[in-house]
Amino acid sequence: MINFLASMLKTAKIPYKENELLAPKSTFKVGGTARLFITPETPAQLESVISAARSAELSFFVTGGASNVVYPDGTYEGAIISTQQIKEIFYDSDETTPDGSVLVTCQCGVPMAAFVDFCTKKNLSGAEQFAGLPGTVGGAVYMNARCFDRSVSDILYSTTHIEYTGEKAKFVELPFNASDWEYKKSPFQAHTAEDGSQITQRYLTQATFRLRPAGAAAHEQIVADCKKYIAERVDKGHFKYPSAGSVFKNNRAFGAPSGKLIDDCGLKGLAVGGAQIAPFHGNFIINTGSATAADIRSLVQAAQKAVKEKFGFELEPEIIFVQNN
């Protein structure tokens, strides 16, 4: 199966590597190797790779910046498909929506930092809160990332994704529909339909955002706001150690952030192998040097157990463990 996919990649001239180390490619710096690490450069190449992996019945995982994932220890017996080379930005200042917003379209692999920089240079306001968010547009839309009380869905206009009916792939454009989106939930996450069947996985190729044209006079303010949000992350210790950001979602019904509940259980600083619940942030697990996916999983389970016992709440992980399947 691997050989079938590798020869298709060679013929189609789609870049890939074999037995690639995963740890350096994720913000957690954890993981073994992937049999194939593929970096398609266009949405059409992304579709060809996914279609070939599906028909070869090979495990595969689509990743952006790998800032919210834990790669497996050992060998991933399939293909990691990184979108990071699919990274064009499209903008037409004359194209406005009825409410006066302008539209910026980013391919899935555009780093969120590049999107925010682009908006800043064009004096477009609305994306400042995402300054300093690691990862790509595809990952942020998939996760419905939320920063400083702003979710990606708050500025989304439309998306395009690859979807399968049987073996047949099609590109689908979805206008933004508020009822498809919730806190850290998007219509791209695998989910179960009301009749119990699994909704087909969707693979984002691009997203279009609504921004407000703020004019040249607002430039300094946009720059200052972006700096403020980045500084706040630095102050909170976000970049001190390798991590994947917050490990658990927050849940209003709990009455306190997940990190506070973990702290109240006395778990800050708890270590398993090379992973540790950050002494400075109850909802961060950090890699102190030699963490494995198994270490991180043990800490996730320890926090879930302690919070369940003390408060009766089920913590829902936000980080994604990539698994052989």
- For helices 219-235 and 112-121, the axis angle rounded to 10 degrees is 150
Nearest CA-CA partner of 29 in 259, 232, 265, 296: 296
Extract the tokens encoding 99.
């409410």
Give the Å distances, CA to CA, from 301 to 27, 119, 274, 324, 325. 21, 40, 16, 20, 21
Q: Does 143 bind ligand FAD (CB under 6 A)?
A: yes
Distances (CA, A) of 264 to 19, 260, 297: 43, 6, 20
318 given a catalytic annotation: yes
Stretch that binds ligand FAD, among 170-178, 238-246, 290-298, 305-313 (CB under 6 A): 238-246
Give the integer Cα–Cα distance in Å for 135 and 311: 33
**Smallest separation (angstroms) from ligand FAD to the CB of 283:** 10
Pairing mode of beta strands 69-70, 320-321? parallel
Site mask, ligand FAD, residues 21-60, x = CB under 6 A? ------x---------------------------------
Of 20, 47, 128, 318, which is the active-site residue? Answer: 318
Near ligand FAD by CB under 6 A: residue from 79, 103, 106, 133: 133
Among 36, 127, 145, 207, binds ligand FAD (CB under 6 A): 145
Name which of residues 182 to 201 contact ligand FAD (CB under 6 A): 188
- Contact string (CB under 6 A) for ligand FAD, positions 108-127, x = contact: x-------------------
Does residue 218 interact with ligand FAD by CB under 6 A? no
- Catalytic positions are 246, 318
Residues that bind ligand FAD (CB under 6 A): 27, 62-69, 83, 108, 133-136, 138-140, 142-143, 145-147, 188, 203-204, 238-239, 243-245, 320
